[in-house]
Amino acid sequence: MRTGWWRRRSGGRVALDPYGLRRVVKPRGVLPQQAEVIDPLLPPGEDELLIEVELLNIDAASFRQLSHECAADPVLIAERVKAIVSERGKMQNPVTGSGGMLIGRVAWVGPSHPAFSELRAGNRIATLVSLTLTPLVLEEIRAVHLHAERIEVRGRAVLFASGLWAPLAGLGGAAGCAGEARAGPWSGEERIARLRAGAPQWSARDGARLSP
């Protein structure tokens, strides 16, 4: 079974992997979303996009389960999220099976990624694919916002060529966004997805700062 597509380049052929199958560790032969473990540390493929992650928007069901398990303690939630990501190579709650999405800045765009001509390092984007299939490494968790169900982090993620994303324009911090969803040619006709604009209003009770 062929696990990648092929693109001709300079008289040769380059293997592409729009669904990230090469990153699946366990069990082999399934898609990243169905995998128990994926590898976020492989060298980036030429059809992948690297993201410096700033914010995880955790799925509501997953965040409620984590909050219940950790007695709504932001420090314990942070430790649990770090453990899940370290064990699985992605943020997929083992109890609920769900993940969420992320916001961050482009670190690198592979020359065969569909966004190569659109995105540059430093551009801020939101991924519109689940964290359950997104290779992720967390270096630091900076804050857990309990009522917003969001986690401020420092980390790195991989977006496959088949993944949807949306540009974020003119919004700082852990803000919402508005933009068109973008995807590779493998997704067929480009789908438009609107995200609500405006930053969430967080009060002191909404979160706890975990590091300076």
CA distance 211 to 82: 15
End-to-end CA distance of the chain: 49
Percent of residues in the chain assigned helix, strand, coil, to nearest 5 = 15, 30, 50
On whether residue 16 sits in a domain, the answer given is: no
Q: Tell me the mean pLDDT in the region 69-94.
A: 98
Mean pLDDT across 203-207: 33
Task: Provide the residue range defining the domain that includes 117.
Answer: 43-209
132 in a domain, yes or no? yes
Q: What's the pLDDT at 169?
A: 75
- Specify if 19 maps to a domain: no
Q: Are the C-beta atoms of residues 156 and 54 closer than 8 Å to each other?
A: no
> In the predicted model, is pLDDT for residue 154 greater than 80?
yes
Mean pLDDT of the chain: 82
Summarised one tens digit per residue, pLDDT across range 14-71 is 679 999 999 999 999 999 999 999 999 999 999 999 999 999 999 999 999 999 999 9
The Cα angle at residue 134 between residues 205 and 191, in degrees rounded to 5: 95
**26 found inside a domain:** no
The listed range with the strongest mean pLDDT (52-56, 173-177, 206-210) is 52-56
CA separation for the pair 176, 201 (Å, rounded): 11
Residue 139 lies in a domain: yes
Share of the chain above pLDDT 70, in %: 73
Q: Is 28 inside any structural domain?
A: no
Could you tell me if residue 32 is inside a domain? Answer: no
Domain count, the chain: 1
Which pLDDT does position 182 carry in this prediction?
Answer: 56
More confident residue, 179 or 201: 179
pLDDT of res. 181: 52
* 196, β-bridge pairs: none
Tell me whether residue 180 is in a domain. yes
